[in-house]
Amino acid sequence: DSGVTQTPKHLITATGQRVTLRCSPRSGDLSVYWYQQSLDQGLQFLIQYYNGEERAKGNILERFSAQQFPDLHSELNLSSLELGDSALYFCASGWGQPNNEQFFGPGTRLTVL
């Protein structure tokens, strides 16, 4: 158990809908990273937050947004969902410095029908 929690574990929704994925980092970690993992693309970095502020941005679509709250938990919002958004979404946490390890949560499996 990495100490990172993600809810929900599974999410099934329809195209065009909006969903929110939640992540609670390990105690003491200031940084949260979001990743998307699909079979054909592998693990893709989406975005990083550090102590409430956006730190780095990867291949995140404009339909997706994230935020980190004062208690350091983070939410990833996915809107106007498409079939291709079906994937595993992982959250990782760490101290936020590049040399520090990222600890991954168990992931949220999103299925868009």
Partner 1 sequence: QKEVEQDPGPLSVPEGAIVSLNCTYSNSAFQYFMWYRQYSRKGPELLMYTYSSGNKEDGRFTAQVDKSSKYISLFIRDSQPSDSATYLCAMRETGNQFYFGTGTSLTVIP
User: 53-61 contacts: CB < 8 A, separation 24 or more?
Assistant: 55/31, 55/96, 60/34
Contact between 74 and partner 1 by CB under 8 A: the answer reads no
Contact between 17 and partner 1 by CB under 8 A: the answer reads no
- Which residue in the block uniquely carries the two structure tokens 């809810």? 7
Nearest-approach distance from CB 16 to partner 1, in angstroms: 28
- Binding residue for partner 1, selected from 66, 78, 90, 110, defined by CB under 8 A: 90
Contact between 44 and partner 1 by CB under 8 A: the answer reads yes
* Overall residue count recorded for the chain in this entry: 113
Residues in contact with partner 1, counted by CB under 8 A, come to a total of 26
